[in-house]
Structure 1
Amino acid sequence: MITALIADDSVFMRKLIGKILSDLDIKVVGEASNGYELLELIRKYSPDLIILDINMPKMDGMKVLFELRKLNINARIIVITALSQEWVRNEAVNLGVAAFIAKPFKPDKLKEVITNVIRQKTY
């Protein structure tokens, strides 16, 4: 079974994304509200997929992406964020993100993107 971690400071968003992942038979092994929590969970679970918000307290998603480059992480990363400026998208892609989705998003769109990323397609 495919495993995933969700990092978003919004409980509502974590629950929504978790439901979408569950509908796709992807097991959510942990949730984080900031980058520090996420890095701990990544070390603990070595997930196949990470859903990451950029704008989070304590350690934001961009800093997490920089940290992940230092680690030997094979997880596919999907960024879902309200920060949709071109430089944010470009930097995230340069740091190995498989897909970038702007908030707000439609659940069906996220399902499509997750399915494509799982199939090893960059979106």
Structure 2
Amino acid sequence: MLKTALIADNSMSMRNLLKNLLTDNDYQVVAEASDGSSAVSLYKEKTPDIVILDLTMPIMNGLDALKNILKFDPKAKVVICSSMGQKSFIIDALQIGAKDFIIKPYFNKLIPALNNLFR
């Protein structure tokens, strides 16, 4: 059975790139969000196996969305995928509870990181 995914990124082109990457690697994208608030709502509605979350989004940023998703489901598997690769952002995200942090545009690391979460 395919693993389900939610992609949250304010860039439609980035969501499309990630969606193609995921679907080409046996993941089913069940929802897409362009802001953090929608990501939280869609997570609650769809409860996907994995969330790919950008940090820089309108309405609610990625770290706040991460906190809200984990408050709803402490076992949620959230991977941050952001160009904001400063050490402080990475440390904050991992301390809050992200399972991994992939710095854009190093998408070749994304699928192995996701697959490791299900081993």
Same fold (TM over 0.5): yes
Q: Aligned-residue CA RMSD in angstroms?
A: 1.3
* Residue 90 (structure 1) aligned with residue 79 (structure 2): no
Which position in structure 2 is the counterpart of 1:113?
Answer: 113
Q: Structure 1 residues 18-27 or 65-74, which shifts more?
A: 65-74
User: Distance between the aligned counterparts of 2:74 and 2:23, measured in 1?
Assistant: 23
Which digits, 9 at most, give the CA deviation of each residue in 1:17-58, with x for residues without a partner? 111111121110000000111111111101110000000111
Distance of 2:33 and 2:12 partners within structure 1: 9
Are residue 42 (structure 1) and residue 47 (structure 2) matched?
no
Q: Structure 1: where are the runs of 5+ without partners?
A: none
| Counterpart in the other structure of 1:17 | 18
User: Match of 1:62, SS?
Assistant: helix
Gaps of 5+ in 2: none
2:103 counterpart residue number: 102
Distance 1:48 1:73, change over 3 A: farther
TM-score (norm 1): 0.89
Identity level (%): 36
* Equivalent position of 2:27 in the other structure: 26
TM-score (norm 2): 0.91
Tell me the equivalent position of 1:66.
67
Structure 1 position 83, deviation (Å): 0.8
TM-superposed deviation, 1:65 = 1.5
